[in-house]
Structure 1
Amino acid sequence: MQPTETVDRPPAPVESNSRTFQRAFGDVREAWQHRELWGHLGWQDIKQRYRRSVIGPLWITISMGTTALALGLLYSALFGQEINTFLPYVTAGFVIWNFIVGCVTEGTDVFIANEGLIKHLPAPITVHVLRLVWRQVLFFVHNLVVYLIVLAIFFPDLTEPYHMAGETQGHPGVSWAILLAIPAFALVAVNAVWVALLFGIISTRFRDIPPVVHSFINLVFFMTPIVWHTGVLEKVGAGGDWRMLIAELNPLYHFLEIVRAPLLGHEQSWHHWVVVGAFTVVGWTVALVALRNYRARVSYWV
């Protein structure tokens, strides 16, 4: 009786589970657990930028102050606005805008700029996104000093009921409702994470995206009520309804308004919160899908 011949068979292929939502959620969760890492790196970014400067990060505040003052004086004259209410409006809007645009533009380069760390540091890729957003939060805090100075100067005018030229309804003035700006900014920061994550993944694969975003963001600035307000749209003549529709279709207007309105004592319109909430859910869903499918490829694309 001859022995049975054994045939060597290749092992069955093991299915990869890297493209799962569990891995995507795990990447975000582990990145949050590494908050000491990205918190330290974000702070070091600012210190490194102003390493040999005499006044250091105060240049952030000075730059913001001069820009807000120049824009406020110019556009208050162009639109016939009262400087005591329009300058705080421009200042608050510009401070918030700088945070948003910083997260968007730097988000397109977030993985490209951290190529060395991604290839040599065994950490979730979301760490680099949180580092970016944290750095922009620190910039925002520095710029917020300018708003506090303007608020102190025009405090008597802003605490009384007032209206801006061209508006049909007035504003109650600054009150304890100003505290609503804290959860509003937190919600904007949560959205900044998914924006930087999604744009960072796409831009790593398609390197034409960053210059396109940088060019397009300048146009969006003038289309967003920052150096002008929506009351001007009704003041310029007939057709205010469709002009207001253009403003309402701009998503950045809603993100800006949920933070700016309580800072200036404006009447809070809750439809802005609904729009921002919808963008939060949809945006995070799309970002998690991109993270699930391409998180493992980012290190090869950079």
Structure 2
Amino acid sequence: MQPTSTVERPAAPLAPNSRTFARAFADVRDAWRQRELWGHLGWQDIKQRYRRSIIGPLWITISMGTTALALGLLYSQLFNQQISTFLPYVTAGFIIWNFILGVVTEGTEVFIANEGLIKHLPAPITVHVLRMVWRQVLFLAHNLIVYVVVVTIFFPTLIEPYQMEGDPVTQPGLSWMALMAIPGFVLVVVNAVWMALLFGIISTRFRDIPPVISSFINLVFFMTPIVWHVGVLNKVTDGEGSWRTLIAELNPIFHFVEIVRAPMLGHAQDWHHWVVVGAITVVGWTLALVAMRNYRARVSYWV
């Protein structure tokens, strides 16, 4: 018989735990470092979509322009508003809404749509989210052409203080304060990333979520002050503090739209919009990081 050795073999090293917040933070950090990758892929998505088109991405601008014009003309007559002030209001709001809509709807299927890359490309899952958000930013950049055209046409009206009917806050006039829309939009983009991460992970596991959100988002559009003004609610109430104003105030999309739209039109920014958006940012990123901590490694199996 062969003598048995009494020396114990060293135990096999344990696999590192992937369900940690450190791994979730590392996924976001590594994805940001690979911005050349998702930046190039996002740009190629637009080029591929309008391949062999004569005017290419200008179709984005034409579509936005015709929609904003139609909504502005219609609702200005319904709410008895001056077209020179109401059309810029609708245009700015609809441009921001279109960005949020694209992030939410495409964010629910961001991992499902990138099934092939997730299975064959060793990259952080946040790369696919940043690619989608960057693509929506490029769409918004095209749509800003419509805003520039509208502001140029109605510039003599916008540079003078005015008051929309039913609005207790008078606009101070378009000025350099319009640049405050930049930090507001940056904050919206930061929230867009966590929304796509959170909804993308949930929707990959439960495939009923995307159609539910697509149906619900249409209702949110009409409940958000985009083609109507908050002052309309005050006109049918006894005062500004009526419960009907909660229709707008309890809608988180309204606050995201307003921190960008208000400076674009020269309106004074209300601090409570920033407070609400800041609180949503903290809570949203916390939920997204928890979801990534627990389920980030399972996304490749769920797709």
The TM-score bracket by the shorter chain reads over 0.9
**Structure 2 unaligned runs (5+)?**
none
Alpha-carbon distance in structure 1 between the residues aligned to 2:239 and 2:115: 50
Alpha-carbon distance in structure 2 between the residues aligned to 1:293 and 1:235: 49
**1:258: which partner in 2?**
259
State the Cα deviation string for residues 130-167 of structure 1 (Å, max 9, x = none). Answer: 00000000000000100000000000111110010111
Give, as a single letter, the amino acid of the residue that structure 2 aligns with 1:58: L
Q: How does 1:156-167 map to 2 (within 5 A)?
A: 156-167=156-167
State the Cα deviation string for residues 222-261 of structure 1 (Å, max 9, x = none). Answer: 0000000100001124475111122101000000000000
**1:233: which partner in 2?**
233
State the Cα deviation string for residues 81-140 of structure 1 (Å, max 9, x = none). Answer: 010000000000000000011000000000000000000000000000000000000000
**1:51: which partner in 2?**
51
CA contact (8 A) 2:111 2:128 kept: yes
Give, as a single letter, the amino acid of the residue that structure 2 aligns with 1:170: T
Alpha-carbon distance in structure 1 between the residues aligned to 2:4 and 2:43: 69
Alpha-carbon distance in structure 2 between the residues aligned to 1:124 and 1:77: 50
**2:250: which partner in 1?**
249
Alpha-carbon distance in structure 1 between the residues aligned to 2:230 and 2:60: 29
CA contact (8 A) 2:237 2:244 kept: no
**Structure 1 unaligned runs (5+)?**
none
**Post-superposition offset of 1:62:** 0.2
**1:154: which partner in 2?**
154
Q: How does 1:93-108 map to 2 (within 5 A)?
A: 93-108=93-108
State the Cα deviation string for residues 180-215 of structure 1 (Å, max 9, x = none). Answer: 000100110010000000000000000000000000
TM-score (norm 1): 0.96
Number of aligned pairs?
A: 301
CA contact (8 A) 2:39 2:134 kept: yes
Q: How does 1:118-133 map to 2 (within 5 A)?
A: 118-133=118-133
**1:216: which partner in 2?**
216
**1:69: which partner in 2?**
69
Give, as a single letter, the amino acid of the residue that structure 2 aligns with 1:41: L
Q: How does 1:3-82 map to 2 (within 5 A)?
A: 6=6, 11=11, 14=14, 16-82=16-82
**1:283: which partner in 2?**
284
Alpha-carbon distance in structure 2 between the residues aligned to 1:219 and 1:191: 21
Q: CA RMSD in A?
A: 1.7
Q: Secondary structure at the match of 1:296?
A: helix
TM-score (norm 2): 0.96
Runs of 4+ that moved beyond 3 A:
2-13, 237-240
State the Cα deviation string for residues 38-77 of structure 1 (Å, max 9, x = none). Answer: 0000000000000011000000000000000000000000
